[in-house]
Structure formats: structure tokens, C-alpha cells
Amino acid sequence: MATMIQAIRMALHVGEERLGVTDIFGEDVGPPLGGVFTGTQSLKTAWNTPLDERGVIGMAIGLALAGRRPVAEIQFCDYAFNTIDLLKIAGNTYWASAGDWNVPMVMMTPVGAGIRGSIYHSHSFDAQATRTPGWKIVMPSNPRDAYGLMLSAIVDPNPVMFLKPKALLRVKALPGEEIPGEPGDLKTLSKMIDAPIGEARNKWKPEWPKLEELYIPIGKARTAREGRDVTVLTYGRNVPMAVAAADELASSEKIEVEVIDLRSLHPYDWDAIKASVKKTHRVLCVNEDTEVTNFGEHLIRRVVEELFYELYAPPKLLAGAHIPGIGLSDNLEQASVPQKEGIKNALRELARHEP
């Protein structure tokens, strides 16, 4: 029962052992730290870079062009903004060269609020990411999906952005979210693969479990919770939050909410969205990015255009406040991005709305 960060580390291990990953790199990604969230601890191809995000993305593009399999990390997505024209190039190279050069790289970066990260460790990146054509964008909400999406990202011949919901990185898997081959017990796994702190780390070697490959297809959503009354379209941190909100509404008010975990933001699973909307006729989009020009707005636009006559209520978007940052105080952070109570209120309103 791994945490998400352990799942990512195990996927990268499988990547470098069996899937041809040649370079896993970024700021503090190599020894001794192995990533600020420990996601790259003990990986044999992990190395440290200069503190230069443009250099990190440029290096990944160059390695990919040379036929290598790079996985590059931007330590926090808040620091990816100065790489945007390089991300554009990674996304447009195959198209601009009319199929001459593909760019098989993975860029991973922690996103979102929830760890009291204040103004520069709380940004979301899904709105920017989905405005960068040529990239596939994935964002897991549990350890099993993180593992399976990372393996799919690694073997994809295109640039894939792997957004890590940082509030969920240390959350333990739920039953049904196991990674094939991992020991069932978190303590056992931790003893095997988590490096000890301090001097002991220098001599320590991980004992990797015999992991099986699991590929979560890019472009396929998952129904995180079934329901008949309202559909929630969400991803990452807001998935378990929406499921918790839905569970509470079911027991207190008999409102049955369906939660669609998109998992892939591009390409996204329109068939799954369509099927759920046709069932519930009510839609709530939830994500943490600022609400103006938000990916949820795109989903709502498409729902309105293609499923207008299915709708019993105007679709709603619950997203981050359109303000320049996320403040440190709990009061400020919670007022800035969706919380469980806000999701419940929005669902209640949608469920009760009569056409």
C-alpha cells in the first residue's frame, strides 16, 4: 500500500530497469536528497542539475532528440513559468518539422495547494499545461494511477507532462489502489525503499519489490464514485475531496454524486464525460487553478455545446480564486482553492436545481 510518492519512485525504477529510461534529473533530484519529496531516491539514473529550469527542459528536449528517454523534474510548477517557450518547443517540434523529429520526454512537476506552500509552492499548472498543444497531460489522484500513468508516460513517443498533486504525495493508497508486486504493508515497503535519514543513508541500498508493469492508458478517465444525481469532473487533489463530499451528501441528504477522475487532461476522455452527463444531467467541474480561462471552463463549454439538451441545470465551475497568489495562513489558503464544504454546497445547489 504505497503512498503516491513511493508509487512514482517505483514507476521510475521500473522505467530505468526495463523501459529504457536513461536520465532522471532536475534540481536536487539525484543523491543525496533524491527529490524534495523523495520521489527520485535511490534511482540509478538520477542526477542533479544546476538551478536552471530552462536548462532542465532544454536538456530533456536535447536528450529526447538524441533518442534517449529523459524524465525531467521541475521542482515546483511555480518555477516552470520561465520554461514556457521551451515547453512550447517540446510540444511543437514534431508538428513544426512535419513528423521529422518526435520528442519522447516526460516532464514531472508537483502542483497545487494543500501543503501550506504560500505564494510560490501552491500554484496549479493545469490551465497552462492544457494550453500547450503537442503535450499529453496526466494527473493522478492515487498511487496506483500514479504508477500506471508514469509507465504510460515513459513509453509514449511524445512529450508527456506528469502533474503531481503535492497534497496527495504522502497519502496512503486505499484498498483497490495497490500496485502489482508491492508488499501489502506500508511499513514493509517503507523499510525496503525509503532511504534512512542522516549518515546511514550513504551505505544504504534499496530492496526493490518485484513490481509488475501496469499501464493506465493516457486518455482514459476513471469513475471514482458512481452516482445518478450530479457529475463531478475533476482530477488530482480534488478527486478524494469530491468523493468525501459525495459520501457525506449521500448519507445526509440522499444525493448520489458521480465523480469522474479525468486522470488525463489531454487527451481527455470525452466518452466517459458524455456518458456520465447523460446519466446525471448535472455537471460540476472542480479544480484548483485560477478560474479565468480555466480548463473546467473548456469542459463546460463543450458540455453546453454538445450536450445542451441533456442538462437539467447550468453547469458550474468551482476553481481557484482569480487572485495573484495563495496566501500562507490557513484561512487564506482555504479561501483561495476549493474545499470539501464548498464542493458540497455546489453539489447540493445543482442537485436541487429544477429546470
Partner 1 sequence: MSTTAQSASSSLASGSATSHGSENHLAPELQLRIHELMLKARVLEERLITMYRQGDGYFWIGGPGEEAFNVPLGLLADKGTGLQHDYLHLHYRSSATLLALGADPVDALRQMKNTATDPYSRGRNFAGHYSARKWNVAPVSSPIEVQYSIAPGTAMAQRAVGSKGITIVTGGDAGSAEGDFATCLVWSSRKGHELPILILVTNNQYGISTPWDGQHGEARVSDRGKAFGMPTATVDGNDVETSWAALKKAMDYVRTERKPYLLEAMVSRLNGHSSASGANFVTTEVDCLARFEKKLEERKLRTRSEMDDMRARFTEELLEASKRVREEPQPKPESIWDYVFADKNYVAGES
Of 319, 217, 312, give the one whose Cα is nearest residue 272: 217
CB of 98 or CB of 200, closer to partner 1 = 98
Amino acid letter for position 230:
V
Size of the site for partner 1 (CB under 8 A): 41
> 84-96 and 53-65 are packed helices; what angle lies between their axes, rounded to 10 degrees?
20
The b-or-e profile of 252-283 (16+ CB within 10 A means b, else e) is: eeebbbbbbbbbbbbebbeebbebbbeebbbb
- List the one residue from 76, 94, 125, 268 that touches partner 1 (CB under 8 A): 94
List the Cα angle 28/32/37 in 5-degree steps.
50
Minimum distance, C-beta of residue 101 to partner 1, in the bound complex (Å): 6
Q: Which of residues 95-114 bind partner 1 (CB under 8 A)?
A: 95-104
Q: From the CB of residue 66, how many other CB atoms can be counted at a distance below 10 Å?
A: 9
Binding of residue 162 to partner 1 (CB under 8 A): no
- List the one residue from 26, 35, 39, 70 that touches partner 1 (CB under 8 A): 70
CB of 102 or CB of 334, closer to partner 1 = 102
CB of 56 or CB of 300, closer to partner 1 = 56
Bridge partners, 259 (sequence order): 225, 232
- List the one residue from 8, 64, 161, 300 that touches partner 1 (CB under 8 A): 64
- Which range of residues in 64-72, 194-202, 235-243, 303-311 is near partner 1 by CB under 8 A? 64-72
Is residue 121 part of the annotated active site? The answer reads yes
Phi and psi at 29, nearest 5°, equal -80, -35
- Which range of residues in 68-76, 106-114, 244-252, 336-344 is near partner 1 by CB under 8 A? 68-76
Binding of residue 23 to partner 1 (CB under 8 A): yes
Surface-to-core class of residue 84, CB atoms within 10 Å of its CB (0-12 exposed, 13-18 middle, 19+ buried): middle
Cβ(165)–Cβ(223) under 8 Å?
A: no
Question: What letter does residue 38 receive in the DSSP assignment?
Answer: S
Q: From the CB of residue 248, how many other CB atoms can be counted at a distance below 10 Å?
A: 17
- Report H helices in 97-142: 126-130
CB of 101 or CB of 120, closer to partner 1 = 101
Of 121, 123, 266, 281, the catalytic one is 121
Minimum distance, C-beta of residue 46 to partner 1, in the bound complex (Å): 14
- Report H helices in the chain: 4-18, 53-65, 84-96, 126-130, 143-155, 186-193, 238-253, 270-280, 295-307, 330-336, 340-352
- List the one residue from 44, 66, 197, 354 that touches partner 1 (CB under 8 A): 66
The SS3 assignment for 210 reads: coil
> Pseudo-torsion of CA 300, 301, 302, 308, nearest 10°?
80
The SS3 assignment for 70 reads: strand
Site string for partner 1, 34-63 (x = CB under 8 A): ---------------xx-x-xx-xxxxxxx
- List the one residue from 32, 157, 196, 314 that touches partner 1 (CB under 8 A): 157
- List the one residue from 14, 86, 272, 326 that touches partner 1 (CB under 8 A): 86
CB of 157 or CB of 325, closer to partner 1 = 157
Q: Which of residues 119-138 bind partner 1 (CB under 8 A)?
A: 133-134, 136
Minimum distance, C-beta of residue 65 to partner 1, in the bound complex (Å): 6
Minimum distance, C-beta of residue 274 to partner 1, in the bound complex (Å): 21
Binding of residue 22 to partner 1 (CB under 8 A): yes
The catalytic residue positions are: 121
Q: Which residues bind partner 1 (CB under 8 A)?
A: 22-23, 49-50, 52, 54-55, 57-70, 85-86, 89, 93-104, 133-134, 136, 157-158
